[in-house]
Amino acid sequence: MKRNSVVVLLLMASFYTSAQNGKAKIKIDIERKTGTIDRLIYGNFTEHLGRCIYGGIYDPASPQADANGFRKDVIEATKNLGVSVIRWPGGNFVSGYHWEDGIGPKEKRPHRKDLAWGDIETNEVGTDEWLKFSEATGAAAYVCVNMGTGSLDEARNWVEYCNGKQGLYYSDLRAKNGHPAPYRVKYWGLGNEMDGPWQMGHKNAEDYSKFALEAAKLMKWSDDSIKLIASGSSNYVRDWAEWDRTVLNHLHDYIDYISLHHYSGNQEKDHNKFMAVTTQVENSIRITEGIINEVRSKYKMTKPIYIAFDEYNVWYRAWNEQKLEEHYNMQDALVVALYLNVFVRNAHIVKMANMAQLVNVIAPMMVTDGKLWLQPIYFPLQLFAQNCQGSNLNTLVQCDRYDAGDFKQVPYLDVTSVYNEKLGEVVVNVVNRHKDKAIETTISNQFGKFDTKGKVAEVNANLDDENSPSMQKVKIQNKEIAVSEKEFTYSFPAHSFTQIRIKIKS
Ligand code: AHR
């Protein structure tokens, strides 16, 4: 596991301008589109870890189990969350996972010790089972291969097992195991966090790149319709960008994405610093985008390479021995909204993102004593996934700023606006980072006319409020507001996330 220690360069967005003495201004212009939002940025992740798979998505003994042993309440909450893609089976777990352990008759599957997390893996849930789960949720499947202890043959045979037409050894095995039709898994990861010494089979950048290149070739030759994600930086220490540069130089012809990971925490119990942590995330995206551009221009490439931010979340209280069952509060929900604003603001280059993880393990939903309940971080992700489709808009924001440690000139308001052309709707996403002050803001429209009313969804509670199986203190509150054609004023409550949706006519 890495902790974030990206050098804080604070390349704050140029469209944030300076102090307004308590009042703020947001200008929206639907002609200033900067990138199309890919629905895949509203993804999640399920790893064989603690109670994510066993006791989370899969629990055949539960009254909630469907015919395949998967929890219907988890499937329902995943659909309601609007999850677009799910990554599996790890995470650190995948670097010791041999996928053939998890196919065929369950009673014959081996039990093995998972050296990443120390659990015993029974292999009850393997490829065929997990793909049934992801299909039931309606999300696209994203399978990550073992680039730690795994082999090139394992990688390409897994593609053949999932996607091959009948008549080949592994695709016929899939048919024998009950699924004659190819699964058509589109997204494939070339290993997990291979830059980290905690990873089984960790390699240096050169060795990883050479191995991953050979795997990529064989996987694409097995099915040239798949999209590949290279394992990028997760370990933001000295020279982290060099890892990405090396990987991109070797793999550029084969990959469609390079991954980034980031976890944040409030170990210092400093609200202002915690609220600024996603400026590091934005910096790592900009630096990686620069390296992608450098490599694409060096090789005169026309094919794009995007960023898949395939692990992010708040994670600092629950470590290994606690099975990573983090209990989230309102403050953490704000950080998740900030991550999502970063992904939307960088929609031109971030084309996939996966909250780590889906259930029980650092997750938006929990199953406690058989009952499903929703953590505070569920709600910002749900609002973004349900309502933010279309294009990101370059949005002018003027507001007061603050300094906190290495973080300088952090705007109190973190804002994105999105134009959904199909619905003729603008969506404004605002995190007020201020611990105790509401911020009165003028929102003006540069093009066309706002409708007379707007729909407001607000996530707001005491900063340390948590949810539990019996009490949902943090949730979405909805209301309608009156709006004028060109300008209106709204007061964003202290430490809140607000999403305003307004129809717009040209
Ligand atoms: O999501 C938990 C762990 O965090 C993953 O297994 C690993 O990739 C990262 O370090």
Using CA positions, which residue lies closest to atom 6 of ligand 1?
A: 91
Query: Please, are residues 244 and 207 in contact by the beta-carbon 8 Å criterion?
Result: no
244 C-alpha to ligand 1 centroid (Å): 19
Q: What are phi and psi of 20, to 5 degrees?
A: -125, 10
pLDDT for residue 146: 98
User: Per the structure block, which two tokens stand in for 506?
Assistant: 């040209």
Query: Please, are residues 200 and 181 in contact by the beta-carbon 8 Å criterion?
Result: no
Cα(369)–Cα(469) distance, rounded to whole angstroms?
A: 9
pLDDT for residue 127: 98
Query: Please, are residues 116 and 96 in contact by the beta-carbon 8 Å criterion?
Result: yes
Cα(434)–Cα(132) distance, rounded to whole angstroms?
A: 44
Query: Please, are residues 261 and 308 in contact by the beta-carbon 8 Å criterion?
Result: no
92 C-alpha to ligand 1 centroid (Å): 6
Q: How many Cβ atoms from other residues are within 10 Å of residue 441's Cβ?
A: 24
Q: Is 46 in the pocket of ligand 1 (CB under 6 A)?
A: no
Q: Is 92 in the pocket of ligand 1 (CB under 6 A)?
A: yes
238 C-alpha to ligand 1 centroid (Å): 20
Residues forming the active site: 193, 311
The helix (run of H) or strand (run of E) holding residue 137 is helix 127-137
Strands (E), 265-364: 306-314, 350-356
Could you write out the three-class secondary structure of 213-251? HHHHHHHHHHCCCCEEEECCCCCCCCCHHHHHHHHHHHH
Residues of the chain with pLDDT under 70: 1-20
Query: Please, are residues 407 and 101 in contact by the beta-carbon 8 Å criterion?
Result: no
Cα(94)–Cα(38) distance, rounded to whole angstroms?
A: 26
Q: How many Cβ atoms from other residues are within 10 Å of residue 321's Cβ?
A: 7
Q: Is 195 in the pocket of ligand 1 (CB under 6 A)?
A: no
**Which of 2, 3, 4, 47 has most ligand 1 atoms within 8 Å of its beta carbon, as the pocket-test mutant?**
47
The helix (run of H) or strand (run of E) holding residue 41 is none
User: Per the structure block, which two tokens stand in for 338?
Assistant: 């900030």
User: Per the structure block, which two tokens stand in for 313?
Assistant: 């979340």
Q: Is 90 in the pocket of ligand 1 (CB under 6 A)?
A: yes
Q: Which of 37, 6, 31, 39 is closest to 346 using CA atoms?
A: 37
Q: How far apart are the first and last CA of the chain?
A: 49
Amino acid at 186: K
Q: Is 1 in the pocket of ligand 1 (CB under 6 A)?
A: yes
Query: Which atom, in ligand 1's list, is nearest to the CA of 192?
Result: 8
Maximum CA extent, the chain: 71
Q: Which of 459, 322, 358, 348 is closest to 91 using CA atoms?
A: 358
Cα(57)–Cα(360) distance, rounded to whole angstroms?
A: 9
pLDDT for residue 439: 98
For residue 453, what are the β-bridge partners?
482
Query: Please, are residues 308 and 190 in contact by the beta-carbon 8 Å criterion?
Result: no
Q: Is 96 in the pocket of ligand 1 (CB under 6 A)?
A: no
Query: Please, are residues 79 and 71 in contact by the beta-carbon 8 Å criterion?
Result: no
Task: Give the pLDDT confidence of 222-234 residue by residue, as tens digits.
Answer: 999 999 999 999 9
Chain Cα centroid distance, residue 375: 16
Query: Which atom, in ligand 1's list, is nearest to the CA of 116?
Result: 6
Q: Which of 83, 85, 96, 147 is closest to 310 using CA atoms?
A: 85
Cα(90)–Cα(117) distance, rounded to whole angstroms?
A: 11
pLDDT for residue 178: 97
Q: Is 356 in the pocket of ligand 1 (CB under 6 A)?
A: yes
Query: Which atom, in ligand 1's list, is nearest to the CA of 49?
Result: 6
Using CA positions, which residue lies closest to atom 2 of ligand 1?
A: 91
Measured torsion, CA atoms of residues 260, 265, 268, 270, in degrees rounded to the nearest 10: 100
Domains defined along the chain, listed by start = 18-35+393-505 (2.60.40.1180), 37-389 (3.20.20.80)
Q: What are phi and psi of 249, to 5 degrees?
A: -60, -40
Q: Which of 146, 125, 5 is closest to 53 using CA atoms?
A: 125
pLDDT for residue 226: 98
Using CA positions, which residue lies closest to atom 10 of ligand 1?
A: 1
